[in-house]
Amino acid sequence: MYGVTVCVRQRVQCLGRISDGRAVLSSIGELVEEEWKRIPFIRPWISLDEFVIMPDHLHGVLIFREPPMDLSSSDLPASRLVSGSLGAVIGQFKSNCTKAIWKEGHRSFGWQTRFHEQIVRNERHLAQLRAYLRENPLRWEKDPSRESA
In a domain, 146, yes or no: no
Give φ, ψ of 111 to 5 degrees.
-100, 155
pLDDT over threshold 80, residue 147: no
CA distance 139 to 106: 28
pLDDT over threshold 80, residue 73: no
User: How much is the pLDDT for 75?
Assistant: 53
In a domain, 147, yes or no: no
In a domain, 20, yes or no: yes
User: How much is the pLDDT for 81?
Assistant: 62
Report how many domains make up the chain.
Answer: 1
What CATH number did the domain enclosing 29 receive? Answer: 3.30.70.1290
What would the DSSP string read from start to end of 73-114? S--S-TTSPPTTSHHHHHHHHHHHHHHHHHHTT-TT--B-S-
Task: State percent of the chain over pLDDT 70.
Answer: 86
Average pLDDT of the chain to the nearest whole number = 89
User: How much is the pLDDT for 108?
Assistant: 96
pTM across the whole model: 0.86
**pLDDT per residue as tens digits for the range 106-131:** 999 999 999 999 999 999 999 999 99
**pLDDT per residue as tens digits for the range 31-49:** 999 999 999 999 999 999 9
User: How much is the pLDDT for 149?
Assistant: 42
In a domain, 119, yes or no: yes
CB of 56 closer than 8 Å to CB of 99? no
Boundaries of domain holding 57: 2-138
In a domain, 143, yes or no: no
